[in-house]
Amino acid sequence: MPPVEVEIAIVGAGIAGIATAYYLCTEHGVRDLLILDALPPMSLTTARSGENYRNWWPHPAMVAFTDSSIDLMERIARESANAIRMTRRGYALATRAKDVSGMVASLEAGYGATAAAHIRMVDTARAGANYVDCAPHGAEGWELAPDGIDVITEPDTIRRHFPHYADDVGAVLHVRRAGDISAQQMGQFMLEQIRASGGRLMLGRLASVERNGKFALLIETDEGSARVLAGSLVDAAGPFVCDVAAMLGVKLPTETIFQQKIAFRDRAAAIPRRMAFAVDLDPQILDWTAEERDLIGADPSNAWLTGRFPGGIHCRPEGGESSDWIKLGWAFNRAPVAPQWEPACDERFPEVVLRGAAALQPALKAYYGRLPTDLSLYGGYYTMTPENWPLIGPMGPAGAFVVGALSGYGTMAAAAAGSLCAGWIAGAELPDHAMALSLARYADEALMAELGESENKGIL
């Protein structure tokens, strides 16, 4: 059988690979491209996405990058009559700390020259009277939501607008250009445009790549081996991005970490349906009884459950106001693993994440020891660089590109990542942050020293 010849082959049909193909078609007029994956589109990491977005990051380059991605998602929402189900209730980051000057300094660093326009201090009753909460800004009114961040330290304002939070919360940082979308719907919208432009999809596992004028790909399919010849190659293989790069003799500076989430029906109505995406910033020790703690600690394999956990646990309503599902996640795992096609979850995680989330939202204690039997436990991979920035741009031999290391922010970053990678491929004018998000940043000693000194890597 003669090889399939294409202008561009994209390895990976997750949301990043699909977005790259979409912008190659819609922004640069590419018609002859092939998306290759061993699994159906968006069925591995993308299917496990938290589906949240935010422009809050501890560095201006990442703020600019995610702002551009939100711009692109907003355009899709308008073009599709909001088929991607965009909402904008924001991220509400809670802490028991009374002094938030360090957090404000981090915000100022992230927003750079625009910090004064972005950050609003809600520290008096008068300022609290001017604060507008997130309730009106569901799927019907996301365009009406404000921008910037409200740093709320005035106690009555916190109690009035976040009554479901624990009484000891001392401050809430409400990131306003943030919310959630449907990654699956966005990907389907993009796939329709890709197919309409002539793009194709092939199901099969990439077995090898050789560079001999063109990229020669050997694909193992259900029908046997197939060959693809491509002028350009994009490595968008998600957790397997390093495996594809290695076929081209490239070693990427990434590691892959498995993180888990749960979703279940909130029959006890513990979480308000219009609640912002809630994040508990504070480290904690899980809320076990003394008897439970002794029993758990006596088992060496479970003793870690009695230790100190990092902050960052999060919770939000799932499925719109007519739904009663909620979603909880906690990216506390720090152990790199080799990715698997069918990763196994830890059956202890649901009770762990529930007790962690209850520290901020005490009403969740109604589920201690009695989580619903129809609970969904699932996990996905955070493939990340040491600084938790993506890799987008040229990779190794001429004509090879990477769009990957999107860690836990693949959904929110996919549009900008795809557009940026497409721009690299097409030789288009690139945004100011393009070099910083490519492999070229590792030659920038000043930038790498700056990132190495930062403790906040934006991991949630």
**What CATH number was assigned to the domain covering residues 4-51+183-254+386-453?**
3.50.50.60
Q: What angle separates helix 60-79 from helix 183-196, to the nearest 10 degrees?
A: 70
Write the single-letter amino acid at 5: E
pLDDT of residue 458: 82
Q: What is the pLDDT of residues 382-420, one digit of tens each?
A: 999 999 999 999 999 999 999 999 999 999 999 999 999
Q: What is the pLDDT of residues 90-102, one digit of tens each?
A: 999 999 998 999 9
8 A C-beta contact, residue 45 and residue 431 = no
pLDDT of residue 282: 97
CA-to-CA dists, residue 454 to 181, 191, 386, 449, angstroms? 30, 38, 11, 9
Mean pLDDT of successive 10-residue segments in the chain (460 residues)?
92 98 98 96 90 93 96 96 93 95 92 92 93 62 87 96 96 95 96 97 96 94 93 97 97 97 96 94 96 95 96 92 93 94 94 98 97 94 96 97 96 97 98 97 96 84
DSSP for 261-307 reads: EEEEE-TT--S-TT--EEEE-S-EE----HHHHHHHHTSTTTGGGGS
Pairing of strands 376-384, 224-235: unpaired
pLDDT of residue 135: 53
CA distance 232 to 398: 8
**381: DSSP letter:** E
Q: What residues pair up with 175 in beta bridges, in sequence order? A: 91, 149
Q: Which among 39, 67, 42 is positioned nearest to 53, based on CA atoms?
A: 67
The CATH architecture annotation of domain 91-177+256-384 reads 2-Layer Sandwich (3.30)
CA triple 336-295-361, angle to 5 deg: 70
8 A C-beta contact, residue 47 and residue 35 = no
CA-atom Rg of the chain in angstroms? 22
- Segments of the chain assigned to CATH 3.50.50.60: 4-51+183-254+386-453
Instruction: Write out the two tokens for 380.
Output: 């996905």
- Segments of the chain assigned to CATH 3.30.9.10: 91-177+256-384
Pairing of strands 149-152, 277-280: unpaired
Q: Burial letters for 250-264: b for 16+ Cβ neighbours within 10 Å, e otherwise?
A: bebebbbbbbbbbbb
**Residue 294, C-beta contacts closer than 8 angstroms, at least 6 positions apart:** none
**Residue 6, C-beta contacts closer than 8 angstroms, at least 6 positions apart:** 32, 33, 34, 200, 228, 229, 230, 231
What percentage of the chain exceeds 90 in pLDDT? Answer: 87
- Indicate the SS3 state at residue 344: coil
pLDDT of residue 261: 97
**Residue 46, C-beta contacts closer than 8 angstroms, at least 6 positions apart:** 14, 15, 183, 184, 187, 238, 410, 411
Q: For residue 37, report the phi and psi dihedrals to the nearest 5 degrees.
A: -160, 150
pLDDT of residue 322: 85
Give 70's Cβ-side CA count (13 Å radius): 23
- Indicate the SS3 state at residue 139: coil
